[in-house]
Structure 1
Amino acid sequence: IELLEQCLDSIDKKSDYTNLEIIIVENNSVKPETFAGYERLKNKYPRLEVLKWTEEFNYSSINNFGARHAKGELLLFLNNDTELIEPGSIREMAGLALQKDIGAVGAKLLFADDTVQHAGVVLGFRGYAAHAFTGIDRDNVGHMVRPLIVSDYSAVTAACMMVKKSDFELVGGFDPIFRVAANDVDFCLKLLKLGKRNVMTPFSLWYHYESKTRQSDKTGSNRKRFEYEVQLFQKKWPDESRGPDPFHNTNFNLDIAPFYLDM
């Protein structure tokens, strides 16, 4: 609940875009302080609704459930472990998402130490995909200044992603076969198949305290689940899994990392 309150408070205090409806999908929480927190938030934000999801955890199904209740023209999928940095972040995403040829709009996400966590997603990394420019400093120009300009990518992370509700419904939302991982990349590829462009804008800037709620995909049972979902993705998108990614320079060795030059 502390993460959620921090996220919403950052939007309330900093965002210069206020035409917002807030939908929280409650997912099998058990702590009394969590539900007390919901009551505080409902009292604080009149346009906030808490929906209750009682089935097993499935990121795709939970977000599809929330989207069905949304009344707005645009959907902003936002993890609870995010914090808004730049006041114009939501407005910048909306300005792009409303354009007819744009599909998904992603933000630039930072770790707590002001290094990049996400600045777009590149296909083909070790048979799946990877975040671009992970680990570089916040203001590092990267390759061709891409971390600092609006850029086309095959996919963006759904930790902070905006899309027209009409496009979301047109492609059937997130595919529930991807319970935790790969759902956002799969979703973005469905938009590309429609002829849409997916973009990342660095002018939407957030902290992302990654995996604070669900824990890392790199350890224990999470790792096995992640590897299984990658296999599902490879079956569904065999060509895209292998690459090359049309928005990535093929002179870089994707076995290392997107846009990383091994000297």
Structure 2
Amino acid sequence: MRNNEELSKIRIYLRKSRLFYIPRKCYAIMLGIRKHGFKAQMRWVHGRICDKIAQKQYYKCLQITPEERQRQRDQKYTTATCFSILVPLYNTPEKFLREMIESVQQQTYGSWELCLADGSDAEHSEVGEIVKEYRQKDPRVKYQQLEKNGGISENTNACVAMAAGDYVVLFDHDDLLHESALYELKQAVDQGADFIYTDEAVFSKNPKKPDSYHFKQDFAPDDLRSNNYICHITCFARTLLDQIDGMFRTEYDGSQDFDLVLRLTEKAAKIVHIPKVLYFWRNHALSVASDISAKTYCIDAGKRAIESHLERQQIKATVASSELYPVIYRVKYELSGQPLVSIILSENSPEAESEKCGQRIREITSYSHYEILVRRNGMKWSEVVAKAKGEYLLFLDSDCICRQDDWLEELLSVAQRGEVGAAAGVVSYPKNVIRDAGITLGVGYYGLGSNNFYLLNDDHDGFWGNFYYMHNVSAVSDTCMMVRRAYYDQVGGMDDALLTWFAGFDLSLKLRELGKVNVVDPYARVGFSHSDMINWEEKRNANGEYADETEQMALLKERWQTVIRQGDPYYNINLTSNSSDFILGKHQG
């Protein structure tokens, strides 16, 4: 037993010691090359290096010039907006407290009130004394000493009772605001937003050297339903509180902010994401940012918050923590009935194996109510769809092989949701590198669209863990794409003038124009059947773009130029435009 304990300590030391950092990384790279191939692994390494370098330099972009600072301070507004910044205090260290208050006082927009409800114990009476020091000099600082500590929910609710502003801003007692935070929020308010959130940074010691940045997507219902990616800053109109059942609810303590965000976004008329880092989240030993895995009450509260949201939306589904991280949740939707699914196998390669694909489907698929049709090479989309009898259409490359028995049920349960346009699975090449996992608009060498994570390892986490939860994308390819037949017909179906990939891209945008959301479900996985598939597709570049199909690209760029020019709402503008690998782009400070 003692030998085992000593061996365990040695293993921990080897995993964590900085002395062995480079050997560990080299060993991991060699394993990656062996598993995924040299090209895929080198692309992953290059992306990670570029991202690290860009993140170290990015803070320069957050600084504003003295001229810009003065311009923001001097700006006049036609309508007045007061922000109530809510901060529950509890035994807050003096350094954190002073830095937090001063980050508010340094705001370039001056119409605010800082509402501080103090639940600190008797041994930390200095918290109140420090706040009173600031309050004497600045009447915008409001303070209330609570009779007892009621926990974060009740203490924050006490802040709400103090607030008299038009908009509410949630702020933690140990964090910092960028000096332009309220100024940027005011610009969104003047555009009619009633719920606003921003990008954020996490730091341990020096906010000028953050550990990481969280560059978020615009409002994405499937992403939010799986994890609280909105987090900080959360700002909303005070009038929204009248439409929900109270502010923070104590039964959700630990994930009370997640519960609140879900309820507010259900009611909000205009949700705006500001793609700027305006919040600095301090990571220290006592913070949630440090280690949530030990705080099981937070995990359980988050699960209940999602379940409550689904119940309010009258959606039947189960919720469980993902394999990746306990507060990233997998929502599994309940299948309704047994509708017929028409599986349309498209022969797109010289060695198309539609018979093998069909046989595999019949052997492994647990869902039985389907039919299989084959779209031969050169056959029109309309020709094969006209023969389909199903209520749902599944377009599948005939070289694909399904990997799990419930793959069809998984996609169907998502496609059955009324708000969903296309539901797509994740498609991999034989060496377990990604072929299709959603498409980002306007990104890549040709400016039409780039395949997300193309040729990266299919066992990685994705962007902030989105390979472990359903997430929204602007478009998907027709390699593995399910759509409700009624929606398909409503938007005019596939364009017969378009080849595979381009047809799916076009259909996705037509569904989005219809007001539907497109979803990538990482729990529906299919793979290509023969090992030379990558070689055959060498006409695709490093982003999965079909470089030779200039006419197809030109047609779609012309058709969707306005949409493309607006940018992809699910891809942050701070990320690189060279590919959709979700790494930070180069910025000028």
Shorter chain as denominator, the TM-score bin is 0.7 to 0.9
Residue 98 (structure 1) aligns with: 416
CA displacement 1:108-140 (0-9 Å, x = unmatched): 111101121111111111310011112222221
CA displacement 1:12-31 (0-9 Å, x = unmatched): 1211111111112334xxxx
1:106–1:200 contact (8 Å) kept in structure 2: yes
Equivalent-residue separation in structure 2 for 1:243 and 1:204 (angstroms) = 30
Q: 1:15 aligns with which of 351, 365, 381?
A: 365
Assess, with a 3 A threshold, how the Cα gap between structure 1 residues 255 and 64 changes in structure 2: closer, same or farther.
Answer: same
Task: Tell me whether 1:237 sits opposite 2:587 in the alignment.
Answer: no
Assess, with a 3 A threshold, how the Cα gap between structure 1 residues 217 and 190 changes in structure 2: closer, same or farther.
Answer: farther
Q: 2:539 aligns with which of 212, 218, 231?
A: 218
1:76–1:162 contact (8 Å) kept in structure 2: yes
Equivalent-residue separation in structure 2 for 1:243 and 1:156 (angstroms) = 18
Equivalent-residue separation in structure 1 for 2:556 and 2:353 (angstroms) = 30
1:96–1:105 contact (8 Å) kept in structure 2: yes
Task: Tell me whether 1:178 sits opposite 2:501 in the alignment.
Answer: no
Segments of 4+ in structure 1 off by > 6 A? none
Residue 242 (structure 2) aligns with: none
Equivalent-residue separation in structure 2 for 1:79 and 1:68 (angstroms) = 18
Q: 1:82 aligns with which of 396, 400, 411?
A: 400
Assess, with a 3 A threshold, how the Cα gap between structure 1 residues 94 and 252 changes in structure 2: closer, same or farther.
Answer: same
Assess, with a 3 A threshold, how the Cα gap between structure 1 residues 143 and 11 changes in structure 2: closer, same or farther.
Answer: same
Equivalent-residue separation in structure 2 for 1:108 and 1:231 (angstroms) = 27
Residue 486 (structure 2) aligns with: 166
Per the TM alignment, residue 146 of structure 1 is displaced from its structure 2 partner at its CA by: 1.2
Per the TM alignment, residue 5 of structure 1 is displaced from its structure 2 partner at its CA by: 2.2
2:381–2:495 contact (8 Å) kept in structure 1: no
Task: Tell me whether 1:154 sits opposite 2:474 in the alignment.
Answer: yes
Q: Note the 1:1-263 alignment, pairs <5 A.
A: 3-27=353-377, 57=378, 62-126=380-444, 127-208=447-528, 216=537, 218=539, 223-224=547-548, 226-242=549-565, 244-261=567-584
Equivalent-residue separation in structure 2 for 1:121 and 1:2 (angstroms) = 24
Assess, with a 3 A threshold, how the Cα gap between structure 1 residues 168 and 98 changes in structure 2: closer, same or farther.
Answer: same
Superposition CA RMSD, Å: 2.4
Q: RCO (CA 8 Å, sep 6+): is it higher in 1 or 2?
A: 1
Per the TM alignment, residue 102 of structure 1 is displaced from its structure 2 partner at its CA by: 0.6
Structure 2, unmatched stretches of 5+, are 1-350, 541-545
Per the TM alignment, residue 177 of structure 1 is displaced from its structure 2 partner at its CA by: 2.9
CA displacement 1:161-199 (0-9 Å, x = unmatched): 100111110011112232445221111100001100110
Q: What TM-score comes out, normalization by structure 2 length?
A: 0.36
Per the TM alignment, residue 218 of structure 1 is displaced from its structure 2 partner at its CA by: 2.2
Equivalent-residue separation in structure 2 for 1:68 and 1:247 (angstroms) = 33
Q: What TM-score comes out, normalization by structure 1 length?
A: 0.79
| Identity over aligned pairs, percent | 26
Assess, with a 3 A threshold, how the Cα gap between structure 1 residues 258 and 244 changes in structure 2: closer, same or farther.
Answer: farther
CA displacement 1:82-106 (0-9 Å, x = unmatched): 1000211110110011111111111
CA displacement 1:30-84 (0-9 Å, x = unmatched): xxxxxxxxxxxxxxxxxxxxxxxxxxx26xxx22221111111111111111100
2:478–2:501 contact (8 Å) kept in structure 1: no
Residue 32 (structure 1) aligns with: none
Q: Considering only CA atoms, is the larger Rg found in Structure 1 or Structure 2?
A: 2
